[in-house]
């Protein structure tokens, strides 16, 4: 057991594409999604405790500082699965907006699992961690690997996308919270076939055109109640984005830029509109042995 403070970063994700292809008997939706981690990070610090308590403190964007926080649930599931009779003190700095379609809670949960496993000398394999992650949430497995991926099933079947281009992303999060379950509940599901083949061939096409990939089935639901989604997409396109789309169930909207300079001037233009928090983040990938 490591006794020094362990510090790690938990990135946000963006859904470049999200197609809902069916509904399972257990109520979960089957999807095909292109997901990328980006360099907008929550910061997590852990100190191992000799007693078996899980302590939690949060700052930044507001999240529960009790058993409802996903980092608490992730830690509890780690100790229960391993049988390790110890505890942990968790400090979370929330820089990723909450309930914003950026996957912050799922990322924090994955970071907690990975960090505890490292602190305790890897009692769980990646496959064990994957099993725990799915039980915490459909997006949690993606954050164990933190690389551009094609996700299927409920999000737990992941294939790395090695050639995903490097972009700068300008992300705008308007000041509204969107409940993921409300969005899925209001979705008019249309029968979609051939989505997996379509996306594989589009990703391989030469020249690669990112606008052929950008599509989010959940956007129709969120934008019907919140017209700001379409406003933000248009603004991002007007300031030179190669494409713009809502992430996850929203309300965050992002634009893709190939150059940093273009992204910076887009960010400035969006800030002047005062429609929400504006972030600039580069596509980010976890190195195989980094924390
Ligand atoms: P999803 O699409 O999975 O709902 P999201 O990015 O839209 O992801 P999150 O920021 O992960 O949403 O938060 C969803 C809900 O989870 C919020 O209601 C929040 O209070 C709760 N939550 C619990 N723990 C956390 C955490 N560590 N960070 C963010 N939210 C958390």
At 166-208, the pLDDT tens digits run 999 999 999 998 899 999 999 998 877 899 999 999 999 988 9
Ligand 1 contacts (CB < 6 A) are 63-64, 68-71, 98-106, 108, 137, 139, 180, 248-249
In ligand 1, the atom with minimum distance to the C-alpha of 96 is 10
As a whole number of Å, the end-to-end CA separation of the chain is 16
pLDDT at 290 over 70: no
CA–centroid distance, 180 to ligand 1, in Å, is 9
CA–centroid distance, 154 to ligand 1, in Å, is 17
Interhelix angle 228-238/260-273, rounded to 10 degrees, is 140
CA–centroid distance, 134 to ligand 1, in Å, is 15
Which has the closest alpha carbon to 11: 142, 124, 127? Answer: 142
> In this structure, which residue's CA is closest to atom 9 in ligand 1?
99
Number of C-beta neighbours around residue 8 at 10 A = 18
For the chain, how long is the longest CA-to-CA vector? Answer: 57
pLDDT digits (tens, 9 = 90+) for 65-113: 999 999 999 999 999 999 999 999 999 999 999 999 999 999 999 999 9
The CATH number of domain 2-160, selected from 3.40.640.10, 3.30.230.10, 3.40.470.10, 3.50.50.60? 3.30.230.10
In ligand 1, the atom with minimum distance to the C-alpha of 58 is 27
> In this structure, which residue's CA is closest to atom 11 in ligand 1?
105
Sorted by sequence, the CB contacts under 8 Å of residue 94 that are 6+ apart come out as 42, 58, 59, 60, 61, 62, 63, 104
The pLDDT, as a whole number, for residue 291 is 47
CA–centroid distance, 204 to ligand 1, in Å, is 33
- pTM, two decimal places: 0.95
* Topology of the domain comprising 168-282: Alpha-Beta Plaits (3.30.70)
Sorted by sequence, the CB contacts under 8 Å of residue 262 that are 6+ apart come out as 168, 240
- Domain map of the chain by residue range? 2-160, 168-282
Query: Could you give the residue numbers annotated as active site?
Result: 13, 139
Tell me what the pLDDT averaged over the chain comes to.
95
The pLDDT, as a whole number, for residue 206 is 86
> In this structure, which residue's CA is closest to atom 2 in ligand 1?
101
Establish whether domains 2-160 and 168-282 are of one fold: no
The pLDDT, as a whole number, for residue 2 is 65
In ligand 1, the atom with minimum distance to the C-alpha of 73 is 24
> In this structure, which residue's CA is closest to atom 1 in ligand 1?
103
CA–centroid distance, 138 to ligand 1, in Å, is 12
> In this structure, which residue's CA is closest to atom 6 in ligand 1?
103
């Amino acid at each position: 057991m490591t006794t020094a403070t362990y510090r790690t970063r938990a990135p946000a994700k963006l859904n470049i594409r999200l197609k809902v292809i069916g509904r399972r008997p257990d109520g979960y939706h089957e999807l095909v999604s292109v997901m990328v981690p980006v360099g907008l990070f929550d910061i997590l610090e852990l100190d191992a405790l000799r007693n078996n308590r899980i302590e939690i403190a949060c700052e930044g964007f507001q999240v529960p500082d009790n058993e409802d926080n996903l980092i608490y649930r992730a830690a509890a599931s780690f100790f229960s699965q391993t049988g390790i009779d110890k505890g942990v003190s968790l400090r979370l700095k929330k820089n990723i907006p909450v309930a914003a379609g950026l996957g912050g809670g799922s990322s924090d949960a994955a970071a907690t699992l990975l960090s505890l496993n490292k602190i305790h000398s890897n009692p769980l394999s990646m496959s064990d961690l994957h099993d725990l992650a799915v039980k915490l949430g459909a997006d949690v497995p993606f954050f164990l690997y933190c690389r551009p991926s094609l996700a299927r099933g409920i999000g737990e079947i992941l294939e790395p996308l090695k050639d995903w281009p490097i972009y700068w992303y300008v992300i705008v999060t308007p000041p509204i919270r969107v409940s993921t379950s409300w969005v899925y509940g209001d979705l008019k599901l249309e029968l979609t076939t051939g989505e997996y083949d379509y996306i594989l061939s589009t990703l391989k096409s030469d020249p690669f055109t990112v606008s052929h990939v950008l599509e989010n089935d959940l956007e129709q639901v969120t934008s019907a109640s919140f017209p700001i989604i379409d406003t933000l997409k248009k603004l991002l396109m007007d300031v030179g984005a190669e494409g713009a789309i809502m992430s996850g169930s929203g309300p965050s909207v992002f634009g893709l830029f190939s150059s940093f300079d273009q992204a910076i001037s887009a960010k400035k233009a969006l800030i002047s509109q005062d429609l929400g928090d504006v972030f600039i983040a580069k596509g980010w990938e976890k190195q195989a042995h980094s924390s």
